[in-house]
Structures are given as structure tokens and as C-alpha cells.
């Protein structure tokens, strides 16, 4: 198939490029409304108990948590008549806005006692809280419409907006600006480095063409998918970084192999054919490994995570198509002009281009050094990785909230004020829905009494009264039955000062759920702490399946690629080493607050977003396997040609070391650019992935791989007879290009023995 693509690229290149250009214009048009098509939120499990409780509260009781908060700072005292008049006016203005279901305000009463929880402990600020109707997207749209009307200077009041709806709106607002900022930083730097790496202005533009296909195609796919299901707006960050990175990776390997074949004396068509049958096949196989790793994200219940799967899968597919269809046609069109506009030729002063692998190169010498002393190298590297991994053992997890925004965001400032000066609201509360059979007053009283005894619960409000510390302390206020009761259900409001995203919050939810409901009723607990608990449970339940999918499919693919059992196992173990080291570094920086200058402006909360290790696991595992496949392809090619394991490893690392390092460095630039965004989880994704990519290219591929493969020796390529025959029939087989005539007769591929390894053709290695 790839040979036919090479022939098509040579003989029908104008047709291929014309159709590609038309296709690009089509997907560009489709991708146009991407930012308006994507959704906010996605951090909760929609099938959880807390989600069911929230749905019942909204559908049958018109109740729920306040999700829009105004922080009011007056010029004068809160009890000043002017302050109160302006506050009452602001309250009425907010209540009159479309999409506002209910409002509770410090200024709402006419001469009555204002609610204590709506005034700060210092007595200098007050709150107006509201509930906006609809899903996360609808709430964000409503917030966008009303914020200009109710914030800023409101008479004698200075007003800022916050709450969950505002967090989503402000986060969405930042995404598009941050994306443009990241691209404006990464693209110019990358273009300069591409000129250095490709040593030609013409060749340096080729990866950008493939990147355009990859990024725009993936964005178009997100727009289409968003018509059928929710897709998170944050997935666009991965689309750009991964699309540009993979385009450069794949282009670099194909173009380098193409130049290598041209240097051997091949004509254009033969060079393309050989390049696609070697590097092109590797690109195809590498794409499968990355794609399958990203598919594992689909097993998680949060559409925030599945959205990254959609984005990543689209990127990989379009990057592969761009590299195997568009790039060969462009190479054919350029022909020998691929080396035009060599801006650095003057500095080389006529020195030849090092197109092929050399036995005196840096990577060859490094591999040889490592393979002469594999045990000491393994020991030192593993000790170093263990030190980096150590902080991961104390990881504490949370979910994105207002603290994930930059410190200058209004939602973050309002959230900080709530936690510092409004402790009764900072912890948020819980709601219990008793559904199925409305309990009697006595049963409800007994149940509420028991719930009020739970550690962390400050107060329970219900139609049966007010309860604290296992006692009924007050009768229900007038109108309470209208608020709390329906025909066959009732609900209870629980106040708590316990941090929702904490171990104490999880314990509190478990204890509340452990209280037996009245006979005939089914209890459902909702609220922020309950949603956090359910989200963690959903993620941990799905994680083993994701790990199993990645491990099994990766093992099978690498077996089909190499015919070995040991090499796939080695690859998986080494990838896990680099992954856990990355997680440890992220805990050290983002949770514990060390070396924060590496990540710019962010708030240290003592936690890291629980979705980030999962997302990074799938993304980084796929990218690491990407480089593993490129390296193994050259090692296996040399081993099939010579049967010498040590020589094959050294030549394979020399052939790919510069390319893998360059590709890793270029891809890392795009992910490092995400550090300049204003959303902490995206910073974690950017810095963590960049660190993992560089660590994988330098430490794993440069040190651990040659050390391990030297120790394993010829066992690297062993497989039992039945599996060896299966691989010979169904596996991926490498084309071994003939050596150029000037170098003497072509090497003959080593013949396999019954043990499944080639016969040695020289001295034992």
C-alpha cells in the first residue's frame, strides 16, 4: 500500500495536492465555529448519585446550590442607608435578569435581620447569591449576559462576580486567549528550530503543512462530534500542541529517511518508496500506538476527559494522513529543491550533510559507553528516577475550581474571599433527597436528627425543623413545606464548613450516606463534596480498565512490530518509570509549591487536579511509544540485517538519536507554551508532558534502553515457536534496504533459527 502511495505521490502529485487543498478548505470551514460549539464544565460524573440528586432538586423542587455570587464591597458601612439602598437596588436588578431562578441577599430584608452567613466576619463585605438555571453551558451564557449589568461600580458599591457559573464562564473566556498566546510563543520559535533541524527553509515548512492538516482536521472533528455529545472547550489545548508535535515528529522521520535514501544514489521515486516502506510504515504503526493510548480515555465518565480523547484521536488520524499522503506529494513536487534556502550553509563552509548513521557519532558513542557498563548505568538512573518519583506517594487530589484560574481572575478573588471571610458558605453544603415515599413527620425528624450528628455537619434544615448536634433546635419557618416537600419526596439542606475537595469531605459524605433513610424512601446525597466523592469513585473504577486497555493493546502491537515478548514488556515498564517520575515532579511543583517559577502564576492549593495524572498517563504513554517505535524500527532493521544485537542497538540509537531528540525538543516547545496559559490543569498538562517527552528522549532512550537491551542480549528477540510463526504470518515485517553499491555487496538478512533469533554472523556480542 505504501509503495502505491509513493508511486501516486510521484505520478499524480498535482492531483493529490489539489484534492488535499480542497479537503483542507472544507475542514477549515467546518472548524470555524469550534469555540462556540464546545462546552464548559465536564468535571462531574453524570451517572452518579450526586448528579441524580441535583437533577431531582432542579426538576421537582426548583432548588440547588447557589452558582452565581456577587461580592459587594461598599464605600461606607454596610448598615449605612445609602449602602442599603444601593444593595436593595442591585438585588432587584439581579433577580429581574433572565435565567436567574432565585436570589438570596444580605440586602433583601426590609428592616429585618440579614442572614449571618451573607456578611463577612470583618463586617465590611456582603454577598448576594443566586441560582442560574440550566446546564453548565446555559449557566455560563446567562452569566455572560448579566455580569456587565450587575458588576463593577453600582452606586456606592464595588461588585465582583464569582461562583461555579462564573468560574466556567471565565475559564471559557480564557481558553481562546490562552490558545492564541501559546501559539504566538511556540510557532515562531519552532519555525526557527525547524530551519536548524532540517537545514533548509523549504524543508522546514513541510511539517507546518502537515500540522495545518492535523490541527484544523481535528478541530473540525470536534465541531462534528459536539453536535451529538458534549465536548470540553479545554480539548483545544491538546489539539494544537499534539497536532503540531506529531506533525513535526512524523515529517522529521520521513524527510530524514528520504534524504538518506537520496544520499545513497536513489532516484526520487525509489527514495520515496523506500522512505514510506521504512519510516512511513513506522509512522503508521506509531500512529496506532498513540491512537490506542488515547482511546483509553473513553472509558472514563467525565466528558472533560473523553473530550481529550476525541481531540487526540482526530489529531493522530489527520497527522498520519498528512504525513503519508500530503507530505510525499510535497516531497515529490520539491524534488531536489528540498534543500533550497539553506540559511545556515555559510556556517558549515562546505561540510557535507550527515544524512546516514555514523559509527563515530555522539549517540553511537553514548550507546557503546552504556552497553559496556549496563549495570552501573541502570543503577544510577533508577536511583535518580526514584528520587523524582518520591513526591507522588503523597499526592492529594482535587477538582478544578476558581483557584485553577489566575489570581487576577474575579472568580478566583471572590472564591478567596469566601474561604477567608465567609466560612459558612466556603465549604458549601450537602442536599439529601428522600425519594420514592414521603416519610412521616416523625420519621423525618428521626432521620434529620441522626444526620445532624455526623461530623462536619453544622446544621440540617427540613420541613420537620432545624437540627444541630443531634437535637431539634427550632421549628421549621413558615413556608418550609413549600420549599422542601413534594408529593412523594422531600429534601434536606445540610450546612457544613468542611472543605468539599478534601479527605474530610469524603468522610463526611460517606457518613451521611451511611445513615439509613426512613422506610420506603431512597436517599440520594448531592452537593459539591458528594460530587467530588462520586467523581473520584468513577475515575478510580474506570482506571484499571484504561490501564489494561493501554498495556494489552500496546503489548500486542509491539509484538506484531518486533516479534519479541521481552521488548514490549520492557517498553511498557520503562514508560511507566518515566510517567511516575513525571507525576512526582508535578506533585513537587503544583501540590507542594516548589520551583513554582517553572509554571508561572498559579495558586498552590495542596492538591493537584485528579484528571491530570489520568490524562497525562494516556497522552504521555502514547507519545513515549511513538519514540519507542521509531527507535525499535531502526534497531530491528539493523538486527535483521546483521544478527548482532549490540551493534544493532548502537546503530539504531545513532540513526534515531538526533531525530528523536530534535522531535522531542520541538514537541516539548508546544507543551511548554501551555505553561503560559491561565488555567492550572492546562499548566500541569503542558509542563508535565514536556518534561516527560524530554526525559523519555534523553534518559529512557539514551541510557535505559541500551543498558537493558545489552543485558538481555539475544533474548530481546526471542518468542516461543507458536508466537514466532504467528508473527511471521501476521506481524509487521521490516523492509531491509540494500546497501549502496559503493559500500560493497548488500548485507544478507540473518536467517532465523528454531529458537526464533537470527544466527550470529560474527563475534559473540
Q: How far apart are CA 286 and CA 631, in angstroms?
A: 11
Q: What phi and psi values does residue 758 have, to the nearest 5 degrees?
A: -65, 150
pLDDT at position 373: 96
pLDDT in tens, 135-145: 889 999 999 99
pTM for the model: 0.89
Helix spans in 69-114 (H): 81-95
DSSP 314-357: HHHHHHHHIIIIIHHHHHHHHGGGGG---TTHHHHTTPPP--S-
pLDDT at position 753: 43
Reduced DSSP (H G I as helix, E B as strand, rest coil) percent helix, strand, coil of the chain, to 5: 65, 10, 25
pLDDT above 60: residue 710:
yes
pLDDT above 50: residue 754:
no
List the one residue out of 292, 308, 386 whose CA is nearest residue 580. Answer: 386
Q: How far apart are CA 706 and CA 702, in angstroms?
A: 7
Neighbours of 705 (CB within 10 A): 25
Considering the chain, what is the average pLDDT of its residues?
89
Q: How far apart are CA 49 and CA 47, in angstroms?
A: 7
Residue 368: pLDDT band by 50, 70, 90 thresholds? very high
Report, as an integer, the average pLDDT of 605-632: 93
| 721 or 764, which is more confident | 721
pLDDT above 60: residue 604:
yes
pLDDT at position 347: 59
pLDDT above 60: residue 746:
no
Q: How far apart are CA 455 and CA 460, in angstroms?
A: 12
pLDDT in tens, 394-409: 999 999 999 999 999 9
pLDDT at position 750: 45
pLDDT at position 423: 75
% residues pLDDT > 90 (the chain) = 69
Give 418-533's CATH code, choosing from 3.40.50, 1.10.10, 3.30.70, 2.40.160.
3.30.70
In the chain, which residues fall in CATH 3.30.70? 67-169, 418-533
pLDDT at position 647: 93
Residue 354: pLDDT band by 50, 70, 90 thresholds? low
What strand order describes the sheet that includes 152-154? 100-105, 126-132, 68-74, 157-162, 152-154
Domain 67-169 part of CATH 3.40.50: no
Report, as an integer, the average pLDDT of 601-607: 93
pLDDT above 60: residue 764:
no
pLDDT in tens, 5-37: 778 888 888 999 999 999 999 999 999 999 889
Q: Residues, the chain, total? A: 765
pLDDT at position 752: 42
pLDDT in tens, 249-280: 999 999 989 988 888 888 888 999 999 998 89
Buried b (16+ CB within 10 A) or exposed e, 717-744: bbbeeebbeebeeeebebebbeeeeeee
Q: How far apart are CA 165 and CA 145, in angstroms?
A: 12
Amino acid at each position: 500500500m505504501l509503495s502505491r502511495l509513493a508511486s501516486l505521490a510521484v505520478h499524480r502529485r498535482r492531483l493529490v495536492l489539489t484534492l488535499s487543498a480542497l479537503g483542507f478548505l472544507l475542514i477549515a470551514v467546518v472548524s470555524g465555529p469550534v469555540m462556540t460549539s464546545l462546552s464548559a464544565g465536564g468535571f462531574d460524573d453524570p451517572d452518579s448519585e450526586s448528579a441524580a440528586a441535583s437533577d431531582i432538586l432542579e426538576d421537582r423542587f426548583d432548588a440547588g446550590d447557589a452558582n452565581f455570587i456577587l461580592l459587594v464591597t461598599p464605600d461606607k458601612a454596610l448598615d449605612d442607608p445609602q449602602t442599603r439602598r444601593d444593595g436593595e437596588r442591585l438585588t432587584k436588578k439581579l433577580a429581574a435578569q433572565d435565567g436567574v431562578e432565585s436570589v438570596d441577599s444580605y440586602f433583601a430584608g426590609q428592616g429585618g435581620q440579614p442572614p449571618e452567613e451573607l456578611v463577612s466576619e470583618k463586617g465590611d463585605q456582603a454577598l448576594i447569591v443566586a441560582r442560574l438555571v440550566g446546564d453548565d453551558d446555559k449557566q455560563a451564557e446567562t452569566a455572560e449576559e448579566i455580569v456587565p449589568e450587575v458588576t463593577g461600580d453600582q452606586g456606592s458599591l464595588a461588585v465582583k462576580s464569582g461562583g461555579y457559573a462564573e468560574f466556567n464562564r471565565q475559564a471559557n473566556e480564557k481558553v481562546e486567549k490562552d490558545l492564541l498566546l501559546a501559539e504566538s510563543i511556540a510557532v515562531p520559535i519552532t519555525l526557527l528550530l525547524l530551519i536548524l533541524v532540517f537545514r533548509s527553509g523549504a524543508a522546514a515548512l513541510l511539517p507546518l503543512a502537515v500540522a495545518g492538516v492535523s490541527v484544523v482536521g481535528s478541530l473540525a472533528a470536534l465541531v462534528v462530534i459536539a453536535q451529538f455529545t458534549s465536548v470540553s472547550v479545554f480539548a483545544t489545548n491538546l489539539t494544537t500542541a499534539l497536532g503540531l508535535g506529531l506533525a513535526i515528529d512524523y515529517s522529521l522521520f520521513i524527510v530524514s529517511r528520504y534524504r538518506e535514501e537520496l544520499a545513497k544514489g536513489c532516484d526520487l521515486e525509489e527514495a520515496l518508496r523506500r522512505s514510506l516502506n521504512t519510516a512511513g510504515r513506522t509512522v503508521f504503526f506509531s500512529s496506532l500506538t498513540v491512537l490506542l493510548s488515547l482511546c483509553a480515555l473513553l472509558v472514563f465518565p467525565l466528558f472533560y476527559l473523553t473530550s481529550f480523547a476525541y481531540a487526540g484521536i482526530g489529531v493522530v488520524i489527520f497527522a498520519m494522513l498528512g504525513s503519508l499522503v500530503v507530505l510525499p506529494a510535497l516531497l515529490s513536487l520539491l524534488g531536489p529543491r528540498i534543500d533550497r534556502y539553506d540559511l545556515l550553509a555559510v556556517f558549515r563552509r562546505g561540510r557535507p550533510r550527515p544524512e546516514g548513521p555514523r559509527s563515530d557519532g555522539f549517540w553511537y558513542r553514548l550507546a557503546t559507553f552504556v552497553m559496556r557498563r549496563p549495570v552501573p548505568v541502570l543503577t544510577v538512573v533508577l536511583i535518580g528516577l526514584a528520587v523524582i518519583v518520591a513526591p507522588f506517594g503523597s499526592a492529594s487530589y482535587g477538582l478544578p475550581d476558581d483557584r485553577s484560574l489566575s489570581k487576577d481572575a474575579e472568580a478566583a478573588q471572590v472564591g478567596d474571599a469566601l474561604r477567608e471571610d465567609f466560612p459558612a458558605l466556603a465549604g458549601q453544603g450537602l442536599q439529601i433527597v428522600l425519594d420514592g415515599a414521603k416519610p412521616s413527620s416523625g420519621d423525618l425528624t428521626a432521620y434529620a436528627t441522626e444526620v445532624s450528628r455526623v461530623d462536619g455537619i453544622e446544621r440540617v434544615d427540613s420541613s420537620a425543623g432545624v437540627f444541630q448536634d443531634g437535637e431539634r433546635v427550632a421549628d421549621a419557618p413558615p413556608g418550609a413545606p413549600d420549599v422542601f416537600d413534594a408529593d412523594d419526596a422531600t429534601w434536606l439542606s445540610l450546612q457544613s464548613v468542611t472543605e468539599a475537595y478534601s479527605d474530610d469531605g469524603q468522610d463526611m459524605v460517606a457518613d451521611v450516606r451511611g445513615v439509613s433513610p426512613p422506610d420506603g424512601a431512597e436517599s440520594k446525597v448531592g452537593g459539591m463534596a458528594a460530587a467530588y466523592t462520586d467523581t473520584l469513585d468513577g475515575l478510580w473504577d474506570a482506571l484499571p480498565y484504561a490501564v489494561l486497555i493501554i498495556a494489552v493493546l500496546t503489548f500486542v502491537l509491539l509484538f506484531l512490530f518486533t516479534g519479541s515478548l521481552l521488548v514490549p514488556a520492557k517498553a511498557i515498564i520503562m514508560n511507566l518509570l518515566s510517567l511516575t517520575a513525571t507525576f512526582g515532579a508535578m506533585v513537587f511543583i503544583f501540590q507542594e509549591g516548589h520551583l513554582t517559577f517553572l509554571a508561572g502564576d498559579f495558586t498552590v492549593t495542596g492538591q493537584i487536579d485528579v484528571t491530570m495524572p489520568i490524562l497525562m498517563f494516556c497522552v504521555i504513554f502514547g507519545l513515549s511509544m511513538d519514540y519507542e517505535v521509531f527507535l525499535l524500527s531502526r534497531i530491528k532493521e539493523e538486527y535483521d540485517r546483521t544478527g548482532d544485537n549490540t551493534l544493532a542497538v548502537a546503530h539504531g540509537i545513532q540513526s534515531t538519536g538526533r531525530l528523536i531528540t530534535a522531535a522531542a525538543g520541538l514537541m516539548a516547545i508546544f507543551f511548554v507554551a501551555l505553561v503560559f496559559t491561565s488555567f492550572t490543569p492546562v499548566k500541569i498538562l503542558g509542563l508535565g508532558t514536556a518534561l516527560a517527552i524530554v526525559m523519555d528522549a534523553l534518559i529512557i532512550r539514551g541510557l535505559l534502553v541500551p543498558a537493558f537491551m545489552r543485558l538481555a542480549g539475544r533474548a530481546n528477540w526471542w518468542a516461543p515457536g507458536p508466537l514466532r510463526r504467528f508473527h511471521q504470518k501476521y506481524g509487521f515485517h521490516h523492509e531491509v534496504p540494500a546497501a549502496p553499491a559503493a559500500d560493497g555487496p548488500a548485507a544478507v538478512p540473518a536467517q532465523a533459527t528454531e529458537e526464533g533469533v537470527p544466527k550470529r554472523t560474527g563475534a559473540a556480542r
